[in-house]
A and B are shown apart, each in its own frame.
Chain A
């Protein structure tokens, strides 16, 4: 199977169909990445379209010596989400874009609502950078090197943030996590019980 770079080069030499292959490989991944930052389907639909259109426009400038195509694509997606929130809520701090989208999070099923409650309870306690790194590492299975290329910083700094994030989560939710899995109660109910 040809790798991404082969298809990028084909695009750069004028083969439009090669971009279709890249889209097939990364369409759903980028969509998920955006969804994890917004938790809003319609917004993810809009932004994923814009990300691939932007990638298509900028593909001629893609420099293979500066990183992988996939991380370049994730960078575009990340910047597009930040731009979106900057336009959408110009008065708010962009670092807190996860919180900005809280009102619009609309899962489609009851299970999805419970899952969303569970994960957002975790993710709400993290800084934006910690949240990004946790999502990329645990949900997207990205290597530390790839994560560093996407969010910026060194591989070591990403590792450090990741380990601190896990430590934070354990300190805040360690006991709750055991109860959730142990008795099968909704996560939000247990948080409420513990808070009471």
Chain B
């Protein structure tokens, strides 16, 4: 709408409310015109606006909990909400037991069992070796009883997805999949092949990480927890590796076998 029509609309409005003002039509019009013409045209600067938007989205992700992420609260009611983590762990353990008997695709192999798993390879299903140790036991013992920064890997599907059976974070974080180089500790951008969505403290449970690149044969990969610096975007330079209170890294490694491709 242009300024003239704005003026006309307001003038019409004014005369409906106070018909006597029509007698000073010219003065009234000039006042309204002045007010409209001198309206300070202010907007946020683009930079400030985008920074604020980003800040709000990060906050929103931690504040808004999807209904699907809080089924236990719904069933237990507010009085028993404190039982939610206990129930979640119990349900998780129950869910993991059938996985062992079904022995469907291949659980991620912790590097500690690397030698034994090299013998068991099924190249048609996965480039990852199945763990020879009891995967259920491994997973169940890894689930923390108290809130902490921790996760338990599940399996890698052929379509470049790593399942995380359980993840819990104390602050917004990311799970990052990267190549583990034997000759250096520092992780470079080129090493990173998968980043989870922003993980929130309110979301305890499973997730998946999509990989951007194919897994290479005979390679060790690490999955590491990185703390978000507050901008809601993963950046290797500004988001730092999470350390637990005991200075340990919540980090797991797995490897691909020589015949895995």
Partners in one complex: yes
Shortest Cβ distance from B63 into A: residue: A56
Give the residues from 64 to 96 in chain B that come closer than 8 angstroms, CB to CB, to chain A. Answer: 64-69
Residues of B within 8 A of A173 (CB): 31
B contact patch SS: helix
Which 10 pairs of residues, A with B, have the shortest CB-CB distance? A14-B66, A174-B27, A16-B60, A177-B30, A163-B17, A115-B38, A163-B18, A16-B61, A19-B60, A118-B38
Task: For residue A126, give the distance in angstroms from its CB to the closest CB of chain B.
Answer: 11
Residues of A within 8 A of B120 (CB): none
Residues of A within 8 A of B193 (CB): none
- Cβ of A134 < 8 Å from any Cβ of B? yes
- Cβ of B42 < 8 Å from any Cβ of A? yes
* B33 near A181: Cβ-Cβ < 8 Å: yes
Q: Pick the contact of A56: B17, B31, B60, B67 (CB < 8 A).
A: B60
- Cβ of B28 < 8 Å from any Cβ of A? yes
Give the residues from 1 to 54 in chain A that come closer than 8 angstroms, CB to CB, to chain B. Answer: 11-17, 19-20, 23-24, 27-28, 31-32, 35-36, 39, 41, 44-45, 48-49, 52-53
Question: Which of B48-56, B161-169, B217-225, B241-249 forms part of the interface with chain A?
Answer: B48-56
What number of B residues sit within 8 Å (CB to CB) of A?
Answer: 41
- Cβ of A194 < 8 Å from any Cβ of B? no
Identify the B interface with A (CB < 8 A).
Answer: 6, 10, 13-14, 17-18, 21, 24, 26-28, 30-36, 38-40, 42-44, 48-49, 52-53, 55-57, 59-61, 63-69
Task: For residue B157, give the distance in angstroms from its CB to the closest CB of chain A.
Answer: 26
Given contacts A53-B59, A138-B35, is CB(A119)–CB(B66) below 8 Å?
Answer: no
